[in-house]
Amino acid sequence: MKAESGHVIFKDKFKYKDLQSCFEEMMKVFLEETDQMPDEDEILQMFMKINMMDIEKNRKPEGYNRRGRMRMVFPLTKGKKQFYIRADSKTAETVRITERLSKILKKAGLPHTVEWDKLLTIQQ
């Protein structure tokens, strides 16, 4: 299976602070799997700190929304809280990485569902 975007949609009672126990692992896995790990540890720590400051205050984190072949985006949406992995084109890598992040969330006890290629639905 190939997809341009993989969406992780959290259940109704989810709060962003619920990500505290697993976000760092998710970010590292995402950066490693997409070959976007910063060369300098200080840059990685900056990404983590910026995101964790928001998560600790129960705010939507930034994710990793920089130029690159893949992004991890926490969109501003009405209703359900979610994030998505997006590639420049349909690829099996998007599916593999989304599923790997889903396993981390399951291990942390965070209920969610996974959907594919739903960017048009989000933007409406």
DSSP, collapsed to helix, strand or coil, labels residue 99 as helix
How far apart are alpha carbons 15 and 59 in whole angstroms? 8
Residue 74's CB is within 10 A of a number of other CB atoms, namely: 21
Residue 58's CB is within 10 A of a number of other CB atoms, namely: 12
101-110 confidence digits (pLDDT tens): 999 999 999 9
* Residue extents of the structural domains in the chain: 3-123
Rounded to 5°, angle at Cα 11 from 9 and 12: 120
User: Which pLDDT score is estimated for 120?
Assistant: 67
Architecture of the domain delimited by 3-123: 2-Layer Sandwich (3.30)
pTM of the complete model: 0.90
